[in-house]
């Protein structure tokens, strides 16, 4: 590849973004649903959910939808349709493909953050107390943990199974991710499950980022562990072609 | 040598897909691997491409190792997979543009689309292309980087006759520029037309190898059917070669039968008042060679 890699990275990232924007269900999942939930709960005040609780929860859901669900489905079908196999017989190095996928997710996350935070400020009188350090840490660790988990599914299962399971887990995170339902409101057993999964720890970090809330060290360590273990495990078990 | 395979073996569990295969492809040569389904064609090609690794044996392409020298080799090699490999939601020109960014000195998008006859389909989504159009886009992608070696796995599968002939022309032009090609095919006419040498693969082994002419010549046959049985010894004495029977037909193993021998045959049969129902000379082409070599294969 030599000195051509910036061009390849740019073109591959451009393709990833183009394809994501063309998939209706990806746009629904990553942009329409988080904004819709924000407007619905933010304007009705149902279940006494405050905008201060809602915004970091929906930033968490945004990361889960783009880095996990959308990425798992897209990669699963690229594997099924032998796109990954074909790219493997070009000079494109694997690290550029992974970097392009990560950059495309980051771009969508920035759009999600601007939309969710912007609408919250302009339409719902949200007064943010940004903590840039926690925000950057949450974005980086959360994206790594969830892209890694996406690759774990997409690289080991049939595309249809990845589609079903990732959508199912999206609903699980909606309930157990401290997104709309506060984790303290869950039964004790479910609280334990929620704290083991990466959703609630990410939400805790995003609460620190959006409102300056204190972030428990258990949440940070749990998220760090997921951010390291999921991609590492994915690189070990990922196969480029369905059997 | 542009491609060398030495004692290549690849097993999938109990199945031996490629069995101690040794093969050479010279610079500028077009080599066709012919064989029934499951003969090991795709496995062999995918080992050369670096997609699969052999259990035993060595492979070199342009003197390089398919997996260890991957990054250098892929710059100089073009690949056409048997199917798929392209984003269903991407447009034709977008895919070519993406692939161009991977190669040094890549050919322009418009030139490639023109070459494969897809200029009018530049904005079409891949999923909306016909089977033949998909194949042609796949061929364009194999040629993006001006490769020295091209691997084509069933390049004209799913094409209508016109598209197939157009593709043959593209490949013949490519061959004229000195590109080395290795293709697999089910189509005898394709192998006869394009290949300098043909290897017939059967159960992962080379059942026969040679130029199309050599292979066809090696099984030169006269096939005779008559209304009544004939005296085999008499036919053998006319042609000077052994005669076998195939049902009610007689197969005369004559590579180069002479006109005089046919005259003697027909004169004798006329005298016997025995009517000729079928008399065919020579082979039906590679197809006959192929079927003869692979007839124990149920899925052939």
- Nearest chain A Cα to B106, which residue? A4
Site from B72, B92, B102 to mutate, A interface, most A CB atoms within 10 angstroms? B102
Structure tokens, A143: 């994206």
CA–CA gap between residue A59 and residue A65 (Å, rounded): 10
Residues B208, B289 contacting (CB under 8 angstroms): yes
Strands B30-34 and B149-153: unpaired
Closest CA to B164 of B197, B188, B148: B188
Residues in chain A closer than 8 A to B123 (CB atoms): none
Reported as half-sphere exposure (CB side, CA atoms, 13 A), residue A114 has a value of 6
Q: Which of A1, A11, A86 has its CB closest to that of B81?
A: A86
With H, G, I as helix, E, B as strand and everything else as coil, classify residue A83. Answer: helix
CA–CA gap between residue B241 and residue A115 (Å, rounded): 87
In degrees rounded to 5, what are phi and psi of residue B61? Answer: -130, 120
Contact at CB, A91 and B75, closer than 8 angstroms: yes
Structure tokens, B171: 């490949």
B180-185: strand order across its sheet: B77-80, B149-153, B180-185, B30-34, B197-202, B205-210
| All structural domains of chain A with their residue ranges | 2-237
Residues A109, A70 contacting (CB under 8 angstroms): no
- Cα A33 to the center of its chain, rounded Å: 14
Closest CA to A110 of A184, A42, A30: A30
Estimate the share of chain B in helix, then strand, then coil, as percent rounded to the nearest 5.
Answer: 35, 25, 35
Q: Which of B84, B90, B98 has its CB closest to that of A82?
A: B84
Question: What sign does the dihedral B217-B220-B218-B161 (CA atoms) show?
Answer: positive
- Nearest chain B Cα to A241, which residue? B51
CA–CA gap between residue A164 and residue A166 (Å, rounded): 6
- Nearest chain A Cα to B79, which residue? A89
Please give, rounded to a whole number of angstroms, the shortest distance from the CA of B80 to a CA of chain A.
Answer: 8
Residues in chain B closer than 8 A to A104 (CB atoms): none
Closest CA to B216 of B237, B202, B195, B235: B195
> Cα–Cα–Cα angle for A202, A203, A205, nearest 5°?
65
CA–CA gap between residue B206 and residue B204 (Å, rounded): 7
CA–CA gap between residue B147 and residue B95 (Å, rounded): 18
Contact at CB, B84 and A86, closer than 8 angstroms: yes
Contact at CB, B74 and A23, closer than 8 angstroms: no
Confidence at residue B146, expressed as pLDDT on a 0 to 100 scale: 94
CA–CA gap between residue A80 and residue A153 (Å, rounded): 13
Residues in chain A closer than 8 A to B141 (CB atoms): 86
Contact at CB, A1 and B71, closer than 8 angstroms: yes
Please give, rounded to a whole number of angstroms, the shortest distance from the CA of B99 to a CA of chain A.
Answer: 8
- Nearest chain B Cα to A85, which residue? B85
Confidence at residue B299, expressed as pLDDT on a 0 to 100 scale: 43
Contact at CB, A83 and B85, closer than 8 angstroms: yes
Confidence at residue B284, expressed as pLDDT on a 0 to 100 scale: 57
Q: Which helix (H) or strand (E) holds A144?
A: helix A132-154
Site from A5, A23, A84, A86 to mutate, B interface, most B CB atoms within 10 angstroms? A86
Contact at CB, B87 and A86, closer than 8 angstroms: no
- Nearest chain A Cα to B143, which residue? A90
Task: Write b or e for each residue in A75-97: b if 16 or more Cβ atoms lie within 10 A of its Cβ, otherwise e.
Answer: bbbbbbbbbbbbbbbbbbbeebb
| All structural domains of chain B with their residue ranges | 3-216, 220-282
Radius of gyration of chain A (CA): 18
pLDDT per residue rounded down to tens, chain A (243 residues): 677 889 999 999 999 999 999 999 899 999 999 999 998 888 787 787 888 889 999 999 999 999 999 999 999 999 999 999 999 999 998 889 999 999 999 999 999 999 999 999 988 888 888 888 898 999 999 999 999 999 999 999 999 999 999 999 999 999 898 888 888 888 999 998 998 899 999 999 999 898 888 888 888 999 999 999 999 999 888 888 887
Reported as half-sphere exposure (CB side, CA atoms, 13 A), residue A131 has a value of 17
* Choices 3.40.50.300, 3.30.200.20, 2.60.120.330, 1.20.950.20: CATH for B3-216: 3.40.50.300
CA–CA gap between residue A173 and residue A178 (Å, rounded): 8
Please give, rounded to a whole number of angstroms, the shortest distance from the CA of A19 to a CA of chain B.
Answer: 6
Strands B149-153 and B77-80: parallel
Residues in chain A closer than 8 A to B86 (CB atoms): 81, 83, 86
Give the list of residues 6+ apart from residue B147 with CB closer than 8 angstroms, or none: B76, B77, B78, B179
- Interface pTM, i.e. ipTM: 0.89
Residues in chain B closer than 8 A to A7 (CB atoms): 101
Site from B47, B66, B85 to mutate, A interface, most A CB atoms within 10 angstroms? B85
Reported as half-sphere exposure (CB side, CA atoms, 13 A), residue B133 has a value of 18
Is pTM, for the whole model, over 0.80? yes
Contact at CB, B89 and A90, closer than 8 angstroms: no
Give the list of residues 6+ apart from residue B125 with CB closer than 8 angstroms, or none: B88, B89, B90, B91
Residues in chain A: 243
Structure tokens, B262: 């046919």
Q: Which of B84, B90, B99 has its CB closest to that of A90?
A: B99
pLDDT per residue rounded down to tens, chain B (300 residues): 999 999 999 999 888 999 999 999 999 999 999 888 888 999 999 999 999 999 999 999 999 999 999 989 999 999 999 888 999 999 999 999 999 999 998 999 999 999 999 999 999 999 999 888 999 999 999 999 999 999 999 999 888 888 899 899 999 999 999 999 999 998 888 888 999 999 988 888 888 888 887 777 665 677 788 888 888 888 888 888 888 887 888 888 776 667 778 778 888 888 888 888 887 776 556 666 677 666 665 443
What is the full DSSP assignment across B238-259? HHSS-EEEETTEEEE--SS--H
What number of other Cβ atoms are within 10 A of residue A6's Cβ? 11
User: Strand ranges (DSSP E) for B116-248?
Assistant: 149-153, 180-185, 197-202, 205-210, 222-226, 243-246
Please give, rounded to a whole number of angstroms, the shortest distance from the CA of A146 to a CA of chain B.
Answer: 23
């Amino acid at each position: 590849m030599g000195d051509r890699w910036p061009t390849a990275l740019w073109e591959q990232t451009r393709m990833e973004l183009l394809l994501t924007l063309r998939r209706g269900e990806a746009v629904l999942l990553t942009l329409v649903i988080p904004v819709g939930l924000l407007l619905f709960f933010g304007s009705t005040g149902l279940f006494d959910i405050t905008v201060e609780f809602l915004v970091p929860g929906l930033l968490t859901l945004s990361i889960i939808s783009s880095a996990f669900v959308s990425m798992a489905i897209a990669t699963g079908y690229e594997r099924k349709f032998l796109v990954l196999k074909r790219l493997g017989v070009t000079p494109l190095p694997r690290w550029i493909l992974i970097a392009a996928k990560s950059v495309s997710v980051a771009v969508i996350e920035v759009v999600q953050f601007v939309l969710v935070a912007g609408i919250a400020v302009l339409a719902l009188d949200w007064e943010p107390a940004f903590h840039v350090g926690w925000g950057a840490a949450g974005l980086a660790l959360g994206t790594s943990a969830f892209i890694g988990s996406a690759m774990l599914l997409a690289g080991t299962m049939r595309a249809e199974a990845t589609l079903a399971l990732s959508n199912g887990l999206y609903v699980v995170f909606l309930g157990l991710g401290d997104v709309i339902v506060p984790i303290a409101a869950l039964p004790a057993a479910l609280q334990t499950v929620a704290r083991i999964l990466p959703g609630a720890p990410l939400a805790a970090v995003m609460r620190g980022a959006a409102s300056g809330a204190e972030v428990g060290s258990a949440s940070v360590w749990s998220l760090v562990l997921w951010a390291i273990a999921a991609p590492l495990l994915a690189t070990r078990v990922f196969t480029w072609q369905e059997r | 040598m542009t491609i060398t395979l030495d004692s290549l073996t690849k097993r999938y569990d109990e199945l031996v897909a490629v069995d101690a295969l040794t093969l050479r492809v010279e610079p500028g040569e077009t080599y066709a691997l012919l064989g029934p389904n499951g003969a090991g064609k795709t496995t062999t090609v995918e080992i050369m491409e670096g997609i699969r690794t052999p259990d035993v044996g060595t492979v070199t392409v342009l003197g390089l190792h398919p997996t260890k020298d991957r990054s250098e080799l892929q710059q100089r090699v073009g690949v056409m997979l048997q199917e798929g490999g392209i984003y269903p939601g991407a447009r034709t020109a977008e895919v070519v543009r993406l692939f161009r960014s991977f190669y040094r000195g890549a050919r322009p998008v418009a030139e490639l689309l023109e070459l494969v006859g897809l200029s009018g389909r530049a904005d079409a989504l891949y999923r909306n292309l016909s089977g033949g159009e998909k194949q042609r886009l796949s061929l364009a992608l194999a040629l993006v980087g001006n490769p020295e070696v091209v691997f084509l796995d069933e390049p004209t599968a799913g094409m209508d006759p016109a598209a197939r002939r157009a593709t043959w022309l593209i490949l013949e032009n490519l061959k004229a520029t000195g590109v080395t090609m290795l293709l697999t095919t089910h189509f005898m006419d394709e192998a006869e037309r394009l290949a300098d040498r043909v290897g017939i693969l059967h159960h992962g082994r080379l059942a026969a190898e040679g130029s199309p002419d050599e292979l066809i010549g090696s099984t030169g046959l006269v096939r005779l059917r008559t209304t009544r049985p004939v005296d085999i010894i008499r036919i053998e004495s006319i042609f000077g070669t052994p005669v076998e029977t195939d049902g009610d037909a007689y197969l005369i193993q004559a590579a180069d039968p002479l006109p005089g021998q046919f005259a003697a045959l027909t004169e004798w049969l006329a005298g016997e008042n025995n009517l000729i129902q079928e008399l065919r000379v020579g082979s039906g082409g590679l197809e006959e060679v192929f079927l003869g070599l692979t007839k124990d294969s149920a899925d052939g």
